[in-house]
Structure 1
Amino acid sequence: MKVRMLFFLVMLFLLIGVSSADAQCAMCKMAAENGAQADGKPYLALNQGILYLAAVPYLSFSVIAFLFWRGYRRRREQEAELEA
């Protein structure tokens, strides 16, 4: 029962914090305005902005996953040496 109540409260808290869907970050808004003024293709600037913003989390996750994999591999090699 406590787990359900905690889950409900967390979800309620997260839903209260959701802002309007029409809100944009300053970077996206500026890219859309500049793209529309320059050549009438604002989607190109928005796509580049989205890729730029998405790169940091993907790179961070990749580095962390690589470090865990390397540590796991080294531990397995050490265990194999001890058994031999």
Structure 2
Amino acid sequence: MKKILFCCFLALGPIFLFVQNTYAQCAMCAINAEEGVKNGNTQGLGLNSGIMYLLFIPYFLVLVVGIIWYKKYRKKVVHLNMKNEQINLN
């Protein structure tokens, strides 16, 4: 498990080192929000972060369900010491 986490960290780690600004608005929404802010409207200031927040939630939920599913249904190593016992197949 530690090896898998280490490999995932090595694969995904560089993505978080080079973060770019993201804009989650379509062109029309961006123009309307910018015009509203220029005219003194303050409601459009948090629009982009709200959209990013709404986009993040489904991916986070899928990740949580995947982790729970993995932990619940993974194969567990079970050692049975049955060498000296005879098995009856009737």
* TM category, shorter: 0.3 to 0.5
TM-score, normalised to structure 1, is 0.45
Larger % of helix: which? 1
Q: Which structure carries more relative contact order (alpha carbon 8 Å, separation 6+)? A: 2
Radius of gyration: which is bigger?
Answer: 2
TM-score, normalised to structure 2, is 0.43
